[in-house]
Amino acid sequence: MSHKLHPSVVEFKTFINKHPALIKKIRKSGRSWQEYYEQWALLGEDDSVWDEYKEVDTGEQADQKESQGSVEKNKELFSNLIKMTENMDLNKVQKQIDSFNNTISVIQELLGQFKQSETSSETATKNGLGWFKD
């Protein structure tokens, strides 16, 4: 046997679900739901009495908001990146990369020559060909 709830009771249930702190208070105090229902019916849900019971962010909700904010920031960053690449001259970028690559090659070559001359001077010193002996 099922019976439908009065529309105002359904509205009160919706109101209660928006105010979890009120649910906790009612359960802790042991007072009846009827008292709060009557107060809600008389004052309405916009009364300042209910402000202290409004939904407070739990850690989980805060995490969700933070992750949504992070997703929005990532979308914005990606959008900005796409805009930057649209305005970019790829030929200039390729020339810069080639120039950078050539610079790295020259540095590697110089390091190789320096290492080679260092190795040969150590060999000469070991063989007694060096100018100074320790």
The structure tokens listed for 119 are 């190795």
**Under 8 Å between Cβ of 19 and 53:** yes
**Residue 22: left if φ>0, alpha if ψ -120 to 50, beta else—which one?**
alpha
Each residue's pLDDT expressed in tens, for the chain with a length of 134 residues? 456 888 888 898 888 888 888 888 888 888 888 888 888 888 888 888 888 887 655 555 555 666 677 788 888 888 888 888 888 888 888 999 999 999 999 999 999 998 888 877 777 666 665 555 55
Please give, one letter per residue, the 3-state secondary structure of 76-120.
HHHHHHHHHHHCCCHHHHHHHHHHHHHHHHHHHHHHHHHHHHHHH
Full-model pTM: 0.39
